[in-house]
Structure 1
Amino acid sequence: MTLIAGVVGWPIAHSLSPLIHNAWITAAGLDARYEAFEAGDEPAFRRLVEEGRGGRLVGLNVTAPWKQLALELADTASLTARRCGSANLIGFAEGRVVATSTDGLGLMAALVEQAPGFDARGAEVVVLGAGGAARAAVAALVRDGARVGVMNRTRERAERLAEDLDAEVAEETALERAALVVNALSVPPRIDAGSLRSDAVLMDMTYRPLETPFLAAGRARGLTTVDGLAMLIGQARPSFKTLFDQAPPDIDVRALALQALGEAS
Structure 2
Amino acid sequence: MTNQAATKTGPYAEVIGDPIAQSLSPLIHGHWLEALGIAADYRAKHVTPDQLQGYLEARKEDPNWRGCNVTLPHKLAILDHVADPGDVRSAIGAANTIFRLEDDGLGATNTDAGGFYTPLSATDLSGRHAIILGAGGAARAVLFALKQVDIGKVTLLARSPLKALGLLGQFGLSGDVLPMDAPLPAADLLVNASPLGMKGFDGNLDLDLSKLAPDSIVYDLVYNPLETPLLGAARQAQLETIDGLTMLIGQAAIAFELFFGQPVPDDAAIAQALRKKLLAALDQKS
When the two structures are superposed, what TM-score results if normalisation uses the length of structure 2? 0.81
Task: Mark the runs of 5 or more structure 1 residues left unpaired by the alignment.
Answer: none
**2:25 aligned to which of 2, 17, 26:** 17
SS across alignment from 1:35: strand
**Rounded Cα–Cα distance in structure 2 between residues aligned with 1:174 and 1:79:** 36
Give the 5 Å matches for 1:53-132.
Answer: 53-55=60-62, 57-80=65-88, 82-93=90-101, 96-112=105-121, 118-132=123-137
Q: Would you tell me which structure has more helix in proportion to its own residues?
A: 1
| The 10-residue stretch of structure 1 (212-221 or 186-195) with the greater mean CA deviation from structure 2 | 186-195
Task: Mark the runs of 5 or more structure 2 residues left unpaired by the alignment.
Answer: 1-8, 198-203
Is it true that 1:258 corresponds to 2:276 in the alignment? yes
Letter in 2 for 1:202: V
Percent of aligned positions that are identical: 35
**1:29 aligned to which of 9, 15, 37:** 37
Please tell me whether the aligned partners of residues 68 and 132 of structure 1 are also in contact (alpha carbons under 8 angstroms): no
**Rounded Cα–Cα distance in structure 2 between residues aligned with 1:160 and 1:136:** 15
Letter in 2 for 1:239: A
**Rounded Cα–Cα distance in structure 1 between residues aligned with 2:42 and 2:74:** 18
C-alpha deviation, 1:174, in angstroms: 8.0
Q: Structure 1 residues 127 and 246 mapped into 2: Cα distance closer, same or farther (>3 Å)?
A: same
Letter in 2 for 1:101: N
| The 10-residue stretch of structure 1 (136-145 or 91-100) with the greater mean CA deviation from structure 2 | 91-100
Aligned residues: 259
C-alpha deviation, 1:81, in angstroms: 5.4
RMSD of Structure 2 on Structure 1 (CA): 2.4
Counterpart of 1:43? 50
| The 10-residue stretch of structure 1 (179-188 or 87-96) with the greater mean CA deviation from structure 2 | 87-96
| The 10-residue stretch of structure 1 (4-13 or 124-133) with the greater mean CA deviation from structure 2 | 4-13
Give the 5 Å matches for 1:112-191.
Answer: 112=121, 118-146=123-151, 147-167=153-173, 168-171=175-178, 175-188=184-197, 190-191=205-206
**2:237 aligned to which of 177, 202, 221:** 221
When Rg is computed on C-alpha atoms for both structures, the one with the higher figure is 2
Please tell me whether the aligned partners of residues 184 and 207 of structure 2 are also in contact (alpha carbons under 8 angstroms): no
Q: Structure 1 residues 226 and 91 mapped into 2: Cα distance closer, same or farther (>3 Å)?
A: same
Please tell me whether the aligned partners of residues 67 and 259 of structure 2 are also in contact (alpha carbons under 8 angstroms): yes
SS across alignment from 1:207: coil
**Rounded Cα–Cα distance in structure 2 between residues aligned with 1:109 and 1:202:** 15
SS across alignment from 2:159: coil
Counterpart of 2:220? 204
| The 10-residue stretch of structure 1 (127-136 or 54-63) with the greater mean CA deviation from structure 2 | 54-63
**Rounded Cα–Cα distance in structure 1 between residues aligned with 2:168 and 2:52:** 29
Q: Structure 1 residues 125 and 194 mapped into 2: Cα distance closer, same or farther (>3 Å)?
A: closer
C-alpha deviation, 1:73, in angstroms: 2.5
1:196-254 alpha-carbon deviations (Å, 9 max, x no partner): 31423111112111111221121122221111111111112221111112212334234
